[in-house]
């Protein structure tokens, strides 16, 4: 590990007020994701998988997405979706339609592109940041 990388790890640990030694240990192991103190570090690939898994199990939440967003992934137009969303019992139906459409991964990729990872994964304040440590690009957020 280069001196500049070591310095970056120390700076990050100080900034986040997390244990430097533990951060070094995780970074040296090149874990794809880990939690340290109140922070989660996760690769982009693992983040997408986690967002997909989270929404796969909750069709109700999928049906709550904005109608203009959903119409790109459902065989319904905006007005039909908007009308269905007027009755909250239809949210789960809309979510099941998304799951059956085979478009969940594409939808989640677009969701992340538009909103970022923080909204989906950052349970603390919905913000996130990115950093490269030991040649691995991590997304990290407070949890």
For the stretch 47-97, pLDDT in tens is 889 899 989 999 999 999 999 999 999 999 999 999 999 999 999 999 999
Question: For residues 41 and 28, which has the higher predicted lDDT (pLDDT)?
Answer: 41
pLDDT over 70, % of the chain: 98
31 pLDDT exceeds 80? no
Reduce the DSSP state of residue 2 to 3 states and report it: coil
105-114 pLDDT, tens digit per residue, is 999 999 999 9
Helix, strand, coil percentages for the chain (3-state, nearest 5): 60, 15, 25
The structure's pTM equals 0.77
Residue 94 · residue 81 · CB < 8 Å: yes
Does residue 119 carry a pLDDT above 90? no
pLDDT of residue 25: 83
Matching residue, tokens 């982009």: 44
Classify burial at 80, counting beta carbons within 10 Å of its beta carbon; exposed 0-12, middle 13-18, buried 19 or more.
Answer: middle
Q: What is the mean pLDDT of the chain?
A: 88
- E strand segments, 20-135: 33-36, 39-43, 129-133
Q: Report the pLDDT value the prediction gives residue 1, as an integer from 0 to 100.
A: 67
Contact 138, 43 (CB under 8 A): yes
- The string over 54-78, giving b where at least 16 C-beta atoms fall within 10 Å of a residue's C-beta and e elsewhere, is ebeeebeebbebebeebbebbebee
């Amino acid at each position: 590990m280069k001196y500049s990388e070591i310095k970056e790890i120390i700076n990050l640990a100080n900034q986040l007020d997390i244990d430097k030694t533990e951060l070094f240990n995780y970074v040296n192991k090149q874990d794809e994701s880990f939690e340290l103190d109140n922070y989660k570090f996760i690769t982009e690939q693992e983040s997408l998988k986690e967002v997909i898994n989270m929404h796969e199990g909750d069709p109700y939440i999928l049906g709550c997405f904005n109608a203009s967003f959903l119409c790109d992934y459902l065989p319904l137009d905006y007005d039909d979706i908007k009308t269905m969303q007027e009755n909250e019992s239809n949210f789960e139906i809309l979510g099941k339609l998304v799951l059956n459409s085979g478009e969940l991964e594409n939808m989640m990729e677009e969701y992340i592109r538009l909103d970022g990872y923080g909204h989906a994964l950052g349970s603390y304040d919905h913000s996130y940041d990115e950093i490269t440590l030991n040649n691995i690009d991590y997304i990290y957020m407070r949890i």
